[in-house]
Structures are given as structure tokens and as C-alpha cells.
Amino acid sequence: MIDRFGRTINYLRLSVTEKCQLHCDYCRSSEECQNSKELTAEEILRLSRVCVKLGLDKIRLTGGEPLMRRDIIEIAENIGKLQNLRELTMTTNGQLLSQCAKELYRAGIHRINISLDSLNADCYRSMTGGDINKIFSAIEEAKKAGMNPIKINAVLLRGINDGEVNNFLHFSREYGVTVRFIELMPLGRLSDKPEMRITMKEILEKNPVLIPGEKTGEPAREFHFSGSAKAGIIAPMSEPFCDSCNRIRILSDGTLRPCLGCIDEISLSEFLGGDDKMLSEKIERAVFNKPLGYTMRDCEKPIRDMSRIGG
Ligand code: SAM
């Protein structure tokens, strides 16, 4: 699908739940936002099928925490069978991954992103509430299952984990994973703390070992270090990539969000009872009208935080 600004939209980020067992401040603002009605596995498949028919050929399952859904393997398996789907991936906090990495791989998830904000067990626990050892075993199991690449997402926060860039680079080389540092977006409890954001420029100034690679048009800008090892920086705030944005989001309650950083939303749930034609038209129109760039601003309370939209 092509939007009114000529961008090709071929990527769906599909949130399957708002629930998450972790409590990362930058991602969530309150506890009560985890109770919305969730799409069923069947509805998720239907939406995916319609989107793939419309030309979206890459789907990422996200949340909330996608592995909190008991039927996640069934969901992945069914989507994985869709003809013309080129890539099925997942972003997870990794806490439950080691138990199901093989099944996920069999279901069609061959690449995975795992969020890990600190390599220090105490810091990781205080930032997220999670157990870092579960992530280390998750990475091992994902590798054994055959997942490749395995990418590590780390949101850097000033005064908390911003001194860990070098450790992350060592870690990524040792574990054979690719780390990507993400700039803090105002989409959670820290939306009023832009001073905590570590920008791409700052990372590069403090870590001259990172040598810029070719620009690829992907959100993650690629860098090399120690020969062929690679890392990425995702800088939506200091270097927005809206011009080349190729994605839309469907939230776990059936809402379509054409742009992560705009409040425009289209409810698809009322069309789930009708035929595919109506649903397709609604999605096509929303894609066509996708905003040119985001309107989220620092210090403005987000209408929905990241955990509800699906990162
Ligand atoms: N629960 C899964 C996880 O932890 O990876 C998937 C959902 S989470 C919303 C997806 C990604 O969004 C994570 O890598 C997280 O670090 C990132 N994220 C969440 N809130 C963010 C924010 N305010 N700014 C930048 N990245 C954020």
C-alpha cells in the first residue's frame, strides 16, 4: 500500500495484549491500563490475513508482553502460514522466552528482539522488575532454536544505565547478538523527564569506538565496532525517520494506529463482524491518510502509553 505521501507501507506491528509482568517506567504510566478487551486469536488472524492481502508482508508481534498470551504459539503459527507473508518476528521482554523459543521458531518466528536495559542484575531489576538470568537463558535457548538475528533493545536513561554502552558492546560480541540503543520517547511515566534521554549524538561523542555504517533507511542507524561487530542506535526524537516510515500498528483491542507518535486512531473492532471488503477498505483508507510525522511532544501526557500501543 502507498500512502498519500508516496511511502510504501508494508509492515504491521501487531500488539496481542496490553498485559505485561514488568513495570518499566518509560513504557507504562499506570496499572489500570491493562484491562481492555483483547482481540481473540481468530480476530488477530483475520486482521493479519486482510493486512497481508493488502500488501503488508512483515508482521511483528508485540505488546504489552506477547508471551503473556497463553495462545501465542497458536497465534504465531496461524499467522506464519499466511501466503505472501515474508517475515514474522516478535519483540519480547524475554522473561518467558526460554520455555517456548523452540515452539516459537517452529511456528515461524525466526528472528527476535529482546528488551534488556541493563547488564547489571540490580539495575535491571529496579528498571523493569525482571530477572536478568531469565534473559541470559532466553538468549541461549533462542540461539539453540535457530533464531537469527537476535537483537537486544536497550533504552538508555541518564544517570541510570547510560554508563553501560561499552559493556553492552562487549556483551553483544560475546553473545553473538546485536544491541540497539533506543532514545527515550515521551510515551510512558517518564514523558515529563526529557532530560533523561540520551541522544544518538551523545552516545557517539562518548563512545568513539562506534563507526557509522551505510545509511539503510531503517529506523536503526547501523554502527561498527571492533572490526565486523555491529550495533544500532534508534533515534526517533533527535533524528526522526518519519519520511521513510513503512509501518502501521494494530493494538490489542482492535484499534488501528497509523503513526506511533500521533493520537489518530481508527477502531476496526466494529468491522470484525462484517466482511473482509469493509475491513480492507477501512485499513486502506487509514494507511492512505497516515500522518506525515509524529506530534508527540516531551512533557505532554500521552493518551496511550507505549505498553498499550505496542512498541
Ligand atoms: N514487552 C515487550 C518488550 O519488553 O520488548 C514488547 C513491548 S515493548 C513496548 C517494545 C519495546 O518498546 C521495548 O524494547 C521497549 O524498550 C520499547 N519502549 C517502550 N517504551 C519506550 C519509550 N518510552 N521510549 C523508547 N522505547 C520504548
CA 27 to ligand 1 centroid distance, Å: 6
CA 146 to ligand 1 centroid distance, Å: 24
Which protein residue has the closest C-alpha to ligand 1 atom 27?
27
Sheet strands (E) in 136-219: 150-155, 178-182, 211-212
Q: Is the pTM of this model over 0.85?
A: yes
Mutate to test the pocket of ligand 1, among 115, 156, 193, 239 (most ligand atoms within 8 A of CB): 115
Which grid cell sits at 63? 505488546
CA 281 to ligand 1 centroid distance, Å: 30
CA 24 to ligand 1 centroid distance, Å: 8
Asked whether 188 lines ligand 1 (CB < 6 A), one says yes
Mean pLDDT by 10 residues, the chain (311 residues): 98 97 91 73 98 98 98 98 98 98 98 98 98 98 98 98 98 96 96 97 97 90 92 97 97 97 94 93 98 94 91 82
d(CA 48, CA 40): 12
Q: At what angle are helices 72-80 and 97-107 packed, to 10 degrees? A: 20
Q: Which residues make Cβ contacts (< 8 Å) with residue 229, sequence separation at least 6?
A: 169, 172, 173
Which grid cell sits at 254? 482492535
